[in-house]
Structures are given as C-alpha cells and as structure tokens.
C-alpha cells in the first residue's frame, strides 16, 4: 500500500506554485461545461499562467463512462444522459446531493507517481469521512473508498466515494465524488465502477444528515493536510 505521505505537499509560500485555488459552485453545473472549463484550466496550469485548482460542485443527474467502461454495465441507457469521458475507470453516477471535487494539480512539479497520487486522493476522502466518525477504507483490488456494513452481513461493504482521474501534460483533472445525500436509486441504472458484488451508500444513508457546507469544510481541511494550503477563488 502506498502511504499518502509519499505525495509531495506544497507550501503556500512556494514562490513558483503558491496556494491551490479553492472554488465552490452553488448551482448545479452541466457536465460538458465543467469538462470544458477543466481542460482550459489544465492548459493554463501547464503553461504556468494559472494556479493549481480544486473545484467543488454538483451535477444534474447523469452517468459518465470512463475509458474502461463495458457496455453491459450500462443497465438503463435511457434513464439519464450518458457522457463518454477520458478519465480512468468505468461507469459512475453524478447528481444532486453528491459532492464532486475536480482536482487540477501540477504533477510535474509535485510527483509523477500516479499510484501515490490516487492513494493520496483516497487518504483525503478517508480523513474527511473520519471527521464525521465514519471509518472508511481503501481496497487494493478496487479504487475508491469503502464502508463496512456489518448490519447487512459479515462481508458486506458499500462504496461511499469514487475516484477517476486523467492527466494531460502532467496536470491532473477529474477527481473524486463523495456521496452526501444523493438518491441512491439513481445508481441502479449502472454497475457502479464495474463492481457487482458491493453496493453504494452515503453519509445520510449511514444516519448522518450533514450539510454540504459541513462536508466542504472538512474536505478543505483534510486536503490541506495532504496536499498543501488553499486560497478561495471565485468561480469563473
């Protein structure tokens, strides 16, 4: 297992990079618009004309197909719009009540170790959930963050957060999604991330009716512990 501390943390006093820009969108963002914005920001980061960035948002209900998506895992193709995407992974769902964080970091300056980067994203999610007294875990055989459900059975565990990344010119984009209070029935239209043997859960499903603002606060605090300081930036 890769230690999350293997991934270099940046300092806000770094004369080259500075703090990571932290953006939060209050209204749902169309998927195509989000991807277009990310791609433009990635190019600017690669050129050295924009700061690294984390963008928190929600999408309207939709499915995305990663580069490893299998057609048979799209169970209900007419239920919601389906977007092919260049991120790794298979099918996933995005929608209201799910916090998406798009993470655009300069891996050329930090580290080109993608395995360490994914492990650090998992560690970020685990630390965030720990703030709500949720014990989440990573698995070596499947990406994402998982919660044991002993009340459902001795070997049962559900996925509470997904990870899918893409890298261009050694700048990361796409990122993570954390289930806060989505309609879990919306996941029924796909085999989430190609995993048939386990289900999905959310903070509310676990009996924790927390607000998105509370989740955002913990995401930011945990991010800074692993990746370095942030500074608020207006969306646009």
Catalytic annotation on 193?
yes
* 103, 117, 124, 215 from 4: Cα distances, Å: 16, 8, 8, 21
- Residue 19 gets which letter from DSSP? S
Cα–Cα distance for residue pair 210/196, rounded to 1 Å:
28
Burial class (CB in 10 A: 0-12, 13-18, 19+), 13: exposed
Cβ contacts of 90 within 8 Å, gap of 6 or more:
65, 66, 68, 69, 70, 73, 191, 193, 194
Radius of gyration for the chain, computed over Cα atoms and rounded to the nearest angstrom: 17
Cα–Cα distance for residue pair 153/149, rounded to 1 Å:
7
193, 195, 200, 212: which one is catalytic?
193
For 205, what's the count of Cα atoms within 13 Å in the CB-facing half-sphere? 22
Q: Which residues are catalytic?
A: 193
């Amino acid at each position: 297992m890769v230690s999350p501390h293997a991934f270099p943390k940046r300092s806000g006093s770094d004369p080259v990079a500075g703090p990571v820009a932290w953006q939060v969108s209050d209204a749902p963002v169309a998927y195509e618009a989000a991807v277009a914005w990310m791609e433009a920001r990635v190019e600017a980061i690669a050129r050295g004309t924009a700061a690294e960035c984390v963008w928190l948002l929600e999408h309207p209900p939709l499915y995305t197909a990663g580069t490893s998506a299998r057609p048979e895992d799209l169970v209900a193709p007419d239920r919601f719009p389906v977007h092919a995407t260049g991120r790794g992974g298979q099918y996933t769902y995005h929608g209201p009540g799910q916090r998406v964080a798009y993470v655009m970091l300069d891996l050329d300056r930090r580290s080109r170790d993608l395995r360490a980067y994914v492990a650090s994203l998992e560690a970020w999610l685990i630390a965030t959930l720990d703030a709500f007294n949720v014990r989440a875990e990573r698995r070596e055989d499947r990406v994402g963050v998982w919660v044991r459900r002993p009340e459902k059975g001795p070997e049962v565990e559900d996925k509470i957060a997904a990870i899918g990344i893409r890298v261009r010119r050694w700048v990361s984009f796409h990122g993570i999604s954390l289930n806060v209070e989505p309609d879990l029935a919306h996941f029924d239209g796909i085999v989430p991330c190609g995993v048939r043997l386990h289900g999905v859960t959310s903070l509310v499903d676990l009996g924790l009716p927390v607000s998105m603002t509370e989740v955002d606060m913990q995401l930011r605090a945990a991010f800074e512990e692993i990746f370095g300081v942030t500074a608020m930036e207006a969306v646009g």
